[in-house]
Chain A
Amino acid sequence: MIRSFGWESVEFLIRGAGWTLLLSLMTFVVGGFFALIFALLRTLGPKPVRLAIAGFIQLVQATPLLIVVFLAFYGLSFMGLHFPPMVAAGVSLAVYTTAFLADIWRGCIEAIPKQQWEAADALALTRIQQLRYVILPQAFKISLGPTVGFMVQIVKNTSVVALIGFVELTRAGQLLNNMTFQPFHVFLTVAAIYFAICYPLSFLSERLKGNRHVRPAH
């Protein structure tokens, strides 16, 4: 049992940070997968599908993440679907990420001038080929900065799942504080770990935004 803040405590926090990273990564992969599909359907799908996705995005963006998490954890368990905290946390963060990334990526696709579609159309490329060879590679480049920027939000936002008892970095900090009663040591260390994860991402994001001519390697 940890009694005062020391190396052991830092180790404990770093294990928590491991869960934060894992949860962030899972969220990004799962959310990113659905976001890509949603972004494409949002721009190119039939009208009812476009409207449905737009509605979903608006709804999720207008809901505090914590409420999404509570819905997934308490709401679904009330209906008899009892998810462990890990799954409830992952699902709710993925839903949240899907909505935001889909919106960011839709913006990137729509930022490509319509003349690019037309030029590819005039060369007899199919709709899918136009996307694959002309639109998405360009949209991808402009999406890098905002996407990496959003990853910072994901990392920080994983902290809300502490409230359903999932022991990631923030929850680990709370537990440690209850044992040591040294809140400054504990939470400054927690903040420092978040910073160590997020700062490189922020830095990269700014670099990618600044460099408008990033080209895929050939």
Chain B
Amino acid sequence: MSALHINEIKKYFGALLVLDGVSLDIEPSEVVAVIGRSGSGKSTMLRCINGLEKIQAGSIEVAGHRIGPQGGDLRSLRKEVGMVFQSYNLFPHLTVMENVTLAPKVVKGVDRQEAEAIAHDVLRRVGLAEKSGAYADELSGGQQQRVAIARSLAMQPKVMLFDEVTSALDPELTGEVLKTMEELADAGMTMVLVTHEMGFARQVADRTVFMHKGKIWEQGPSEELFANPQTPELRNFIAPNLK
């Protein structure tokens, strides 16, 4: 059974059709990169997957929780789906530890001691065990983004969504975040990542999906897709990136 099942979803913003019948099946432990031009609907697709945006047609299924145009049990779905944003969005009034333990405590009702044990574990995984007492404004962008990943991991999601998580970072800080994501992938996490890092997509993602005009235009095993693009749109898109 697939970890994430997206079936013919459509999304409108007013009259603008942004997702035009997108379907995608993702296997457990699969890593899928989503690439495409600005405005092609990549972020919107991710946001629909965990219900931050409503869909107007089709359905999305994760771990037995289904959402459709009428909504669905969003909270149950979100417990299974972690999301990491381009702008980190840490809670600035809370320490790193409090950022990471908040959701396990208030959403899952985990007691404080256990929540902190989980937090220590996930912070170690992202290499920030020693920063648990810091506030967001005391961390670099790369560290903040790794805390955001840890915060999401602490809910023990079945699927993680990443929306251009390195785009806001200085080039010398992208490496540490990409490394964290690669380790997650190696550990068997099911991941969907929107990225402009073609090299990373090619190297880490099992499959790459090219979105164009709100549709999945072309997809395939990453190595093949980049080596041998089938459509002129994809060829045009990756040509300047490969130089």
With A129-B106, A129-B107 in contact, do A123 and B152 touch (Cβ < 8 Å)?
A: yes
With A116-B91, A123-B78, A123-B155 in contact, do A133 and B102 touch (Cβ < 8 Å)?
A: yes
Interface SS, B side: mixed
Residue of B nearest to A114 (CB): B89
- Determine how close the nearest CB of chain B comes to the CB of A112; give it in whole angstroms: 10
Q: Which residues of B contact A218 (CB under 8 A)?
A: 95
Are A126 and B91 neighbours in the complex by a CB distance under 8 Å?
A: no
Interface, chain B (partner A; CB < 8 A): 50, 52, 75, 78-79, 81-83, 85, 87, 89-93, 95, 102-103, 106-107, 135, 137, 148, 151-152, 155
Are B85 and A119 neighbours in the complex by a CB distance under 8 Å?
A: yes
Are A141 and B93 neighbours in the complex by a CB distance under 8 Å?
A: yes
Residue of B nearest to A141 (CB): B93
A18 at the interface (CB under 8 A from B): no
Q: Which residues of A contact B79 (CB under 8 A)?
A: 124
Interface SS, A side: helix
A30 at the interface (CB under 8 A from B): no
Residue of A nearest to B86 (CB): A115
- Determine how close the nearest CB of chain B comes to the CB of A142; give it in whole angstroms: 11
Are A115 and B75 neighbours in the complex by a CB distance under 8 Å?
A: no
A116 to B50, CA, bound (A): 16
- Determine how close the nearest CB of chain A comes to the CB of B44; give it in whole angstroms: 14
A77 to B238, CA, bound (A): 79
Q: Which residues of B contact A115 (CB under 8 A)?
A: 85, 87, 89
With A129-B107, A133-B102 in contact, do A122 and B93 touch (Cβ < 8 Å)?
A: no
With A118-B85, A121-B52, A129-B106 in contact, do A215 and B75 touch (Cβ < 8 Å)?
A: no
Q: Count A-B contacts at CB 8 Å.
A: 59
6 A-B pairs with least C-beta separation: A119-B89, A124-B78, A123-B103, A122-B83, A115-B89, A124-B107
A137 at the interface (CB under 8 A from B): yes
Could you jot down 20 A-B contacts, CB within 8 Å?
A118-B52, A118-B85, A118-B89, A119-B85, A122-B50, A123-B107, A123-B152, A125-B102, A125-B103, A129-B106, A129-B107, A133-B102, A133-B106, A134-B91, A134-B102, A137-B93, A138-B91, A215-B93, A216-B93, A218-B95
Size class of A's contact patch? 20 to 34
Are B89 and A125 neighbours in the complex by a CB distance under 8 Å?
A: no
- Determine how close the nearest CB of chain A comes to the CB of B97; give it in whole angstroms: 11
A138 to B89, CA, bound (A): 13
Are A125 and B106 neighbours in the complex by a CB distance under 8 Å?
A: yes
With A122-B52, A122-B78, A126-B75 in contact, do A116 and B103 touch (Cβ < 8 Å)?
A: no
Residue of B nearest to A124 (CB): B78
Are B93 and A138 neighbours in the complex by a CB distance under 8 Å?
A: yes
With A138-B92, A141-B93 in contact, do A124 and B103 touch (Cβ < 8 Å)?
A: yes
Residue of A nearest to B82 (CB): A122
Are A123 and B93 neighbours in the complex by a CB distance under 8 Å?
A: no
Q: Which residues of B contact A124 (CB under 8 A)?
A: 75, 78-79, 103, 107, 155
Q: Which residues of A contact B135 (CB under 8 A)?
A: 215
- Determine how close the nearest CB of chain B comes to the CB of A113; give it in whole angstroms: 8
Are B78 and A121 neighbours in the complex by a CB distance under 8 Å?
A: yes
A48 to B135, CA, bound (A): 39
- Determine how close the nearest CB of chain A comes to the CB of B62; give it in whole angstroms: 12
- Determine how close the nearest CB of chain A comes to the CB of B174; give it in whole angstroms: 20
A168 to B90, CA, bound (A): 49
Q: Which residues of A contact B81 (CB under 8 A)?
A: 122
Contact with B along A127-145 (1 / 0, CB 8 A): 0010001100110010000
Residue of A nearest to B77 (CB): A124
